[in-house]
Structure 1
């Protein structure tokens, strides 16, 4: 299998997730064996020290020694968490993959030592969580995360086979005694559940793998069908048109919502969250502003569309003073910066004694240029189609306490008090941001 991977990706480099345990040790040494035949392939290794046991430093040294002997570049990273945290295994997995992802080169493939037993354990964990076909599909042989690739060469190989190979080659590896602690869900399944099933049904692991492969095929088929259909409902700005979803069968509507979220490269929300999105977003009042929080992101509805946005800290109470307009003013929340140049919007020029300041909240009535009547700023935001969550992210220009402009949106009518003008540009990608990295959260 590894030779097949090397032949298929011969122009790539490989980063091996190397814990020092049996599985990753076999993976590393099988690659080293093939490298003797194909010396041009490039291999690096990464070891994540979870710092959960006093043996951790010994394991780090073991990995260093092995990689030094075989002249393999090794990355060492540390994770520090509270051992008593809930869902410790999941949190460690997320932290581990987040770190590894950052170290992966664009032309590099991540290899892990996951095997058939791991796959079966994952199946049972998914059952425990009440997962559907996607969750029951388990790990894929190949996974695309953002712009990078993970391959698991041993998914069709049992732990017993890997162990036999390691003993035959006289390999040395780390024994993590925490793997015997059945307080961890995966260890409980490994020690207490699977041995009983295998004793009763010797082919259970193979049949479990077959069931997962069927789930993968069904999921892939559904994904392809939804991918064709979803284009009819996604607008030019990436939002999802929910007006038509309300009138279709619930199962299809929720499937389309799930698929739309899957395009955002985040961990898929739970079944319960998808149901909340369906009922609260599609069937709430037309003037409501519902919100579903998904870790560091949000699903929001505005008018007849669903928006997927990254949660930003509120800037309502922030003040920024622009003391020297010869230098650009950097804005918070990665909103870019303001600069005085010839390409900007023409605005009334401040008087010498006026302090130029930026705010992000205003609640009064205003008269904007081109109008003859004041309106509440909320009505103007609505008229300009600015969703509620963007309104306190737009820089508002003031001279002392005089509101001058919502930059990029409108200019306040100042009754010709300021006859001279100057130009300001808001340099940003505020209305077209797209996060191209993968979030494990």
Structure 2
């Protein structure tokens, strides 16, 4: 059933997502048959969700089957609090993160998803009002972080898998929680699809064809967007929207969506994309609009959109640096301050002055080398510091006297008869979005 699929992969190591149910049982035994003909390595991983008293019994079943067939088995347990809200989503994200942590670098994850699952996913996407990307549903082959996941049964129906399992006299687990139609997927599986199949026997195959068409359209659209967006992406990965008012709305929203696609977050809904477009493109030029997406924010600054990770508010934080011969660790992973010979030269504190670090200051200040005070807000703007970074820059004080925004400017303090010292701020405010991923 899947021999041709498995043979085409040069990497011959496979990890099977093994629940013990029909789909993954057929997948396991298919691999065992292929192993008799070709050199492949097989491992399995079983995730116990602890949702039923039978969970332990299912784990024992999986252990027994893998032991009989000499398949190494990884067993992991997960628990999710607040089991009423988005349970399926939470379990799926946890499950895939655990599986990812066990995958070897050259190992491919195999799952037992089939055509019926694909149809259910398509209907769920319709319920959410998804566009072509969402309606593409599951791909035959996708990346899981930087590793590969393959679904070799996507062109097979559940009925075909069941016939094969019965022919081979296989035993599998029947999870009766799958009969609970309080869950959307189970409702679709037991109440919607049977009626549609009874009316139209070809319904499943046509759903599968629709997902393929949507995927092809999405690939084609992304191909053209990739070429076009190069004219709008800037060196810091922000999106230049200075000319968006003169571009058709549909093109603008497509560019925004494609830009966000590279951030590896759950793709915002159609409504959210429209909100980003309306608020970011057409708000006042002096406005500072912000749209929150999970743990991230879309911010506009100087005719560009920026995607940033939301940071805890530290503007009221006060740090005392009592031992200046030691590093001072800053909050929010902002690095540390250290006295050395590589940093900014500053007036040294007097013996009776407390060195302290703050992250907010208001009012007018006089910068060294100037003869007129300016509001600090104007200085931030002059230095091209976006609003969300202004409370992330360590401000050096001696007692209550503002000395320096480290790395940016030094104030003109009244008493110039001071020695000097040098402080280095060792940090990296830029976030590398390629070192994380989320499962949705």
State the TM bucket, normalised to the shorter chain. over 0.9
Q: Which residue of 1 aligns with 2:392?
A: 393
Q: Deviations over 1:140-175 (max 9, x none)?
A: 111124422221111111111111222222222211
Distance 1:72 1:347, change over 3 A: farther
Counterparts of 1:367 and 1:430, CA distance in 2: 26
Structure 1 stretch displaced more, 406-415 or 254-263 = 406-415
Deviation of the 1:201 alpha carbon? 1.6
Q: Which residue of 1 aligns with 2:208?
A: 209
Q: Which residue of 1 aligns with 2:15?
A: 15
Q: Is the CA contact (8 Å cut-off) linking 2:232 and 2:240 kept in structure 1?
A: yes
Counterparts of 1:335 and 1:371, CA distance in 2: 29
Q: Is the CA contact (8 Å cut-off) linking 2:93 and 2:438 kept in structure 1?
A: no
Deviation of the 1:268 alpha carbon? 0.5
Counterparts of 1:208 and 1:3, CA distance in 2: 25
Q: Deviations over 1:106-141 (max 9, x none)?
A: 333222111000000111111111111111111011
Deviation of the 1:3 alpha carbon? 3.6
Counterparts of 2:390 and 2:338, CA distance in 1: 21
Q: Which residue of 2 aligns with 1:195?
A: 194
Deviation of the 1:416 alpha carbon? 5.0
Q: Which residue of 1 aligns with 2:129?
A: 130
SS at match of 2:104: coil
Gaps of 5+ in 2: none
Distance 1:64 1:414, change over 3 A: farther
SS at match of 1:338: strand
Q: Deviations over 1:57-100 (max 9, x none)?
A: 22222223333333433333333234652332223222322332
SS at match of 1:274: helix
Q: Is the CA contact (8 Å cut-off) linking 1:349 and 1:418 kept in structure 2?
A: no
Q: Which residue of 2 aligns with 1:43?
A: 42
Q: Which residue of 1 aligns with 2:306?
A: 307
Q: Which residue of 1 aligns with 2:318?
A: 319
Q: Deviations over 1:286-307 (max 9, x none)?
A: 1111111111111111120000
Counterparts of 2:25 and 2:358, CA distance in 1: 57
Structure 1 stretch displaced more, 108-117 or 315-324 = 315-324
Q: May I ask how many residue pairs the two structures share in their alignment?
A: 440
SS at match of 1:254: helix
After TM superposition, the structure 1 = structure 2 runs for residues 407-422 of structure 1, keeping only pairs within 5 Å, are 407-417=406-416, 419-422=418-421
Distance 1:320 1:300, change over 3 A: same
Counterparts of 1:83 and 1:347, CA distance in 2: 53
Q: Is the CA contact (8 Å cut-off) linking 1:367 and 1:412 kept in structure 2?
A: yes
Counterparts of 1:342 and 1:83, CA distance in 2: 53
After TM superposition, the structure 1 = structure 2 runs for residues 5-404 of structure 1, keeping only pairs within 5 Å, are 5-11=5-11, 13-39=13-39, 41-82=40-81, 84-404=83-403
Counterparts of 1:299 and 1:432, CA distance in 2: 14
Structure 1 stretch displaced more, 69-78 or 395-404 = 69-78
Deviation of the 1:12 alpha carbon? 5.5
Deviation of the 1:249 alpha carbon? 0.8
Deviation of the 1:418 alpha carbon? 5.3
Counterparts of 1:44 and 1:365, CA distance in 2: 66
Deviation of the 1:44 alpha carbon? 2.9
Q: Is the CA contact (8 Å cut-off) linking 1:143 and 1:150 kept in structure 2?
A: yes
Structure 1 stretch displaced more, 411-420 or 421-430 = 411-420
Distance 1:167 1:366, change over 3 A: same
Q: Is the CA contact (8 Å cut-off) linking 1:115 and 1:155 kept in structure 2?
A: yes
SS at match of 1:320: strand
RMSD: 1.9
Distance 1:273 1:420, change over 3 A: same
SS at match of 2:435: coil
TM-score, length basis structure 2 = 0.94
Distance 1:233 1:63, change over 3 A: same
Counterparts of 2:12 and 2:327, CA distance in 1: 42
Counterparts of 1:201 and 1:311, CA distance in 2: 49
Counterparts of 2:192 and 2:200, CA distance in 1: 12
Counterparts of 2:41 and 2:313, CA distance in 1: 46
Q: Is the CA contact (8 Å cut-off) linking 2:135 and 2:214 kept in structure 1?
A: yes
Distance 1:318 1:173, change over 3 A: same
SS at match of 2:430: helix
Counterparts of 2:319 and 2:62, CA distance in 1: 50
Structure 1 stretch displaced more, 242-251 or 394-403 = 394-403
Q: Is the CA contact (8 Å cut-off) linking 1:52 and 1:83 kept in structure 2?
A: no
TM-score, length basis structure 1 = 0.94
Gaps of 5+ in 1: none
SS at match of 1:440: coil
Q: Deviations over 1:275-333 (max 9, x none)?
A: 00000110001111111111111111112000011111111121222222332222221
